[in-house]
């Protein structure tokens, strides 16, 4: 994901999370802020140490980034999203992670499945 599509600063994470506009399933939590000033979607990832060692955390981040690539073009153009992986996400395969991401995006009503 290009730099301009990422949320990296703790201040921005806090601002988005303080809005308390969140949706969750067993494996992921998503926080949303509509109407950013950048006119393109941005995504921040958070994977805590409870999830496992560095290798496992990096694997989960890779899976999440790859799954986001598949839906990124279909997201609203002015939205900020923070994805937080719960500890149970450590045991998911890529396809299960993708399925959980799609589920939580549908819960948030920001992505429609093409079925």
How is the chain split into domains, by residue range? 8-105
Measure the N-to-C terminal CA separation of the chain; round to a whole number of Å. 26
From the candidate CATH numbers 3.90.180.10, 1.10.3720.10, 3.30.230.10, 3.40.50.720, the one assigned to the domain spanning 8-105:
3.30.230.10
How far are the Cα atoms of 13, 52, 62, 89 from residue 33, in angstroms, in the given order? 10, 29, 23, 23
- Could you read off the pLDDT of 30-74 as tens digits, one per residue? 999 988 788 888 999 999 999 989 999 999 999 999 998 888 888
Helices marked H in 1-115? 10-18, 54-71, 94-107
The Cα–Cα gap between 57 and 43 comes to 17
- Could you read off the pLDDT of 75-115 as tens digits, one per residue? 888 899 999 999 999 999 999 999 999 999 999 888 776 65
């Amino acid at each position: 994901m290009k730099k301009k599509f990422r949320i990296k600063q703790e201040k921005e994470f806090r601002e988005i999370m303080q809005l308390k506009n969140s949706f969750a399933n067993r494996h992921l939590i998503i926080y949303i802020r509509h109407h950013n000033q950048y006119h393109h979607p941005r995504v921040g990832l958070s994977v805590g140490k409870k999830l496992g060692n560095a290798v496992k955390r990096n694997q989960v981040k890779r899976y999440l980034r790859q799954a986001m690539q598949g839906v990124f073009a279909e997201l609203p153009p002015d939205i900020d999203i923070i994805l937080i992986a719960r500890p149970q996400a450590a045991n998911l395969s890529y396809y299960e992670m993708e399925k959980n991401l799609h589920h939580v995006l549908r819960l948030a009503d920001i992505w429609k499945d093409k079925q």
